[in-house]
Structure 1
Amino acid sequence: MTPNAASASSGPSRRSFLASTAVVTAAVAGGMPLLAACGGSDSGSRGGTTSGKDAKKLLPAYVASNVVTPDIPAKNGSAMGFTRELAIADLKTSVPKKLGRGGKVTIMSPFWGSPPKGDNPYYTAMNSLIGVDVVWQNQDGNTYDQKLGAVLASSDIPDVVVVPSWNMGGKIPSAITGKFADLGPYLSGDKAKEYPNLAAIPTDAWQRSIFGGQLRGLPQPGPYVTGIVPLYRKDLFDKAGYTIPKSADEFTALCKEITSPKAKRWACGDMKWTAFNIFGVMSGSEKPLGWNLVDGKMIYRIETPEYLEALEWTRKLFAAGYVHPDFKLGKSQATDPSPKFAAGEFLIWNNNIVNWYGQQAAQATQNPSFKIWGMDLFGHDGGNPTLWAEQPAGIFAFVSKKASESVIRDVLAVANVTAAPYGTKEWMLTNYGVEGTHYAMKNGVPVKNDKGNNEVVNAYVMVASPAATIAHPDFPDITKASVEWQQRMGAFTKKSSFWGLTISEPSRFTNLSNDMEQMEDDVVRGHKSISDMQQWISDWKSKGGDKLRDWYKKLLDENGSAAS
């Protein structure tokens, strides 16, 4: 049950985002920094902004699943949690009869690794359960945006195309509204009750699936609480008697206490994304989330004093030598920091919540004393933090406009199985394959064998997913701690003006912020100054930022907000 570890040094990777959203047992974690979902043509500039009463007409009726009861219910935008061990005999049935009509459905989706053969036992078993002949057109996830653009520009589109939010750049948003079907006639209102697992997907995720004024996407829901956790080596903290910091100054003092280059020990990795959280900077995971109406004026995240304060604080950590040297090269560096974190070379790692479990599970055998935990986020001044909500869904499956009603019904049959909740037979088959062929049960935990690791990956989980869930029966303490961390942080989480909406900026603004992330990294690493960043922000305003502000203000005036 060990997910792929993040490989990026300064923030989570796209692959860890996939693990966190598509693999329930790896923890479903919402929005990810470093993944920019933006852009679009002017013709698609209003796409996905439907909110209020108009949206309610489009959204599926929500009917919570009662098939399996979580050990820890969702709260404050968190995932739900399951700590209990699984037993094959106790798995529930959430799809009592096949809804598939026996047709053939082609699905194009990103895939990381080598795709299995199409007639493998996993695909065969899933298709038999669903009653649909799904044919996968797996594409390299690392270059998926290129393939996506080419396919959507052609007239030959597969029945289903999976589009992650980070691939919604350029002309993709307008292609979504032009090439994909309205699912409203099949799912809006009480129609969704024909597909109970889809009806149990939270309404916020469906709201996010409105593109061009129509319900077009089948979503992978996630918690809206930030997925970025300051993970730390609890075993080494306890041994040394370190105190968990509750302010920016206390964090800096702790870093000074920990760091000893002669002993080959540094305090932390790149803490930029945690800095944004503790200083109350609006989300940078997606451009629309960075805009918020304040006292009648539309403000972008980089215009706030908190933004510069967060960069300056992070810069001081680097300048003082508290950051492990491997992180000084930024996200371009190729070395996986995991071994050095496990070796105790640095003790605090700004990472995605998926790796709370992932790092612990990876060290369970060879390093039994290893204990990883998550720090609560704090306000920089020692008060409560001001956190900003991430999007409630980040990957979508779309059905071609050319698809017949029979094909659309078959696609929904697929999604109704893949959205089955944890603890069901359908969930187990979707996520682990066939018992004995792909996995074996060990102490109540399904463990994949080599065949399972090769075949049961990156496929059916991409069509639709159940409500956000964290389930690690092999580490129930981490399950409980992860969910409760989200719940505590959720209590301090606010929603900015465009939360929950899918928005495509006009194409003339597409490249406006291209260099922003590089500028941030240059500033925190001391290659550029805060004044250089201030000049960059001034240039951003004059080159289009102020006009983009007017565009967002008009959009909000005309459509209203989905945040409540």
Structure 2
Amino acid sequence: MAGQGFNRRAFLGAASATGITLAAGGTLTACGSGAKSGAGAAASAKLKLPAYVPANVPKPDLPGNAQGLDAGYLRYPKNLVKHSGPAPGDGEAITALTETFTTMPPAMRRNAYWQELNKRVGSEIRMTIVNGLGEESVYRSKFNALIAGGDLPDLMWFPPNQGLKNVPQLLEAKFHDLTEYLSGDAVKEYPNLANIPPYAWQTAVVNGRIAGYAVPYGRMGQVYVANEDFWKPVGGLQFDSAQDFFEKAKDLLDTKRKKWVLEPAYVNHLNQFAMWYGVQNGWQEKDGKLVNAFETDEFLAGLEFAVKCQKAGLFYPDPNLRTTLEKLGGGFLGLHVQSFPGFLNDSAMYDWPQKVVVPFAAEKGMQPTWGYGYGSVGFTAINNKVPKKRVKTLLKVLDFLSAPMGTETRLFLDNGLEGRHWDRSKDGDVVLNDKGNAEVLTTRQAINFFSNAPQSLYLPGKSEMTRGIHETEVELMKIAQANATIGYFSDTNASKGASSSAEFNEALKDIVAGRESIASFKKDVLPKWRRTAGDAMRSEYETAMAKGKKK
């Protein structure tokens, strides 16, 4: 896939805007989540987001759009757009803090891809790469240590879901305001940045200013992924209702052959079930008041259905299962929850037939829903110790690194050098070789966290799967909903959002597992969430949104 390269399941919450992220990840906060809500929202309402100008590249086989539908390529495009003009860099080294969730790349001196990248950029890119495969807090610790020491890199990636605090104050004190460079038509000086959709830029607005370069990511949120072969004995992945799903799942359960239907991630599944009942995406405004998905009857219905599935033994019995994809591929599991970009990565890597289950009505007359994600993995801010005259140079470098599918630059960024890192198949597809997997994939992931291109669909050698995924996106978007609070900020969400959601999810697990009753949800769990964070977030968001509407 062009513009991707993320493959850690624990980071998948970055694709979600629901506030009900994958249980393995943290709750995603709207980038800049420590903002003073009122002033920031009021100013943000007046801000012009960067103009959207789609890139002039070869027409994709399957069209995309500015709302989040990904362009698709059945074969690697021909007649690629060449980079024109000089290299964007100025010959001076560019330092950047970023993260990876895979093997660390070979050092620059032993990495032909990295060396060639530096040549094409015209400056040496010196990355400080934090490996987040261990603990969730590793990047935050490194980030905070750099802030405390005062010796900041030129480019600093602000992730959306790792609990950074006092973000607006930090941005004002330590980083350039990029509004004058990127707002409205100003962004057209950087054509690839203008190709980033507005929904991604919205997540880089803090207190009425464009705080950084929005790192684009697929807007498609979390999805229910099935092994199609697993479901063939009951007629495939067609369900008339939640009860129909339940009966077919029971028919497929075969513990003697060690076959279960659902991965043991209770919260992930109940979130999907709730969509069948029409649950809203995160916060939504109803009768002038913000309501969270947790507070709705639809969410409770999803919880009740999850309990029903657990009592029927549909979940894999070991809650610490570490081989979900292997068991799915082997036909020993039927369904798991994944981020959409993660699903794309898995589709490229594995040959077993993966398919997304588009939410269907739990009961006749109901309207199912599905939640958009944020469309970014945070933003990259520019250290204000960088001379103002050099800000444009760094933006030009980010523009280069954001080259979209259909350009020679993206072919190199995603795949490296032909003959050394990749080869063409007989069908003209671009396929990484062992050297490419060792150098390009590992280096590219670290780069893609602080600069990337909008997502596109391209699975080498799997044109029909690509077509099917594009058709699935079209169907998902028919019932998609965005979280109403994107672009608004809550101090409580920054300080307590992640911890309160983690506690909430643990309580949900206890209910699904049968350790607590369903009645405890309304009696204890939901009231506690409201007391510890929910009501304060609601008040702060409502204030911010009200002031924004007055402008």
Q: TM-score normalized by structure 2?
A: 0.87
1:369-388 residue pairs with structure 2 within 5 A? Answer: 370-382=352-364, 383-388=366-371
Alignment partner of 1:232 out of 199, 208, 226:
226
Alignment partner of 2:257 out of 260, 263, 283:
263
- Equivalent residue of 1:165, what SS? coil
Alpha-carbon distance in 2 for matches of 1:171, 1:46: 15
- Equivalent residue of 1:346, what SS? coil
Alpha-carbon distance in 2 for matches of 1:243, 1:514: 32
Alpha-carbon distance in 1 for matches of 2:470, 2:13: 17
Shift of 1:201: 1.0
Alpha-carbon distance in 2 for matches of 1:425, 1:51: 39
Describe the shift of the 1:372–1:51 C-alpha distance in structure 2 as closer, same or farther (beyond 3 A). farther
Alignment partner of 2:159 out of 156, 164, 177:
164
1:19-30 residue pairs with structure 2 within 5 A? Answer: none
Q: What does residue 101 of structure 1 align with?
A: 90
1:398-477 residue pairs with structure 2 within 5 A? Answer: 398-443=381-426, 444-456=428-440, 457=442, 458-477=445-464
Q: Aligned pair 1:350/2:337, yes or no?
A: yes
Alpha-carbon distance in 2 for matches of 1:339, 1:307: 30
Identity fraction in percent: 25
The amino acid that maps onto 2:336 is: W
- Equivalent residue of 1:81, what SS? coil
Q: Aligned pair 1:480/2:472, yes or no?
A: no
Q: What does residue 553 of structure 1 align with?
A: 542
Shift of 1:395: 2.6
Q: What does residue 123 of structure 1 align with?
A: 114
Q: What does residue 52 of structure 2 align with?
A: 62
Shift of 1:410: 2.5
Q: Is the 8 A contact 1:192 1:198 kept in 2?
A: yes
Q: What does residue 310 of structure 2 align with?
A: 318
Alignment partner of 1:152 out of 129, 147, 171:
147
Shift of 1:500: 4.5
Alpha-carbon distance in 2 for matches of 1:389, 1:138: 29
Describe the shift of the 1:252–1:500 C-alpha distance in structure 2 as closer, same or farther (beyond 3 A). farther
1:17-96 residue pairs with structure 2 within 5 A? Answer: 33=22, 34-38=25-29, 44-45=36-37, 49=41, 54-56=46-48, 59-75=49-65, 77-86=67-76, 90-96=79-85
Shift of 1:363: 4.0
Q: What does residue 524 of structure 1 align with?
A: 512
- Equivalent residue of 1:90, what SS? coil
Alpha-carbon distance in 2 for matches of 1:428, 1:377: 35
The amino acid that maps onto 1:115 is: P
The amino acid that maps onto 1:371 is: P
Q: What does residue 26 of structure 1 align with?
A: none
Between Structure 1 and Structure 2, how many residues are aligned?
528
The amino acid that maps onto 2:353 is: K
The amino acid that maps onto 1:246 is: D
The amino acid that maps onto 2:392 is: R
Describe the shift of the 1:190–1:253 C-alpha distance in structure 2 as closer, same or farther (beyond 3 A). same
Shift of 1:203: 1.7
Deviates more, 1:435-444 or 1:315-324: 435-444
Q: Is the 8 A contact 1:291 1:300 kept in 2?
A: yes
Q: Is the 8 A contact 1:216 1:398 kept in 2?
A: yes
| CA-atom RMSD in angstroms | 3.0
Describe the shift of the 1:410–1:312 C-alpha distance in structure 2 as closer, same or farther (beyond 3 A). same
- Equivalent residue of 1:245, what SS? coil
**Structure 2 gap segments, 5+ residues each:** none
Deviates more, 1:32-41 or 1:78-87: 32-41
Describe the shift of the 1:99–1:124 C-alpha distance in structure 2 as closer, same or farther (beyond 3 A). same
Describe the shift of the 1:350–1:509 C-alpha distance in structure 2 as closer, same or farther (beyond 3 A). closer
Q: Is the 8 A contact 1:67 1:94 kept in 2?
A: no
**Structure 1 gap segments, 5+ residues each:** 22-29, 284-289, 365-369
1:128-143 residue pairs with structure 2 within 5 A? Answer: 128-142=119-133, 143=138
- Equivalent residue of 2:359, what SS? coil
TM-superposition CA deviations, 1:194-225 (whole Å, max 9, x none): 21111111122112211232112212223434
Q: What does residue 10 of structure 2 align with?
A: 13
Q: Is the 8 A contact 2:26 2:502 kept in 1?
A: no
Describe the shift of the 1:36–1:183 C-alpha distance in structure 2 as closer, same or farther (beyond 3 A). same
Q: Is the 8 A contact 2:29 2:493 kept in 1?
A: no
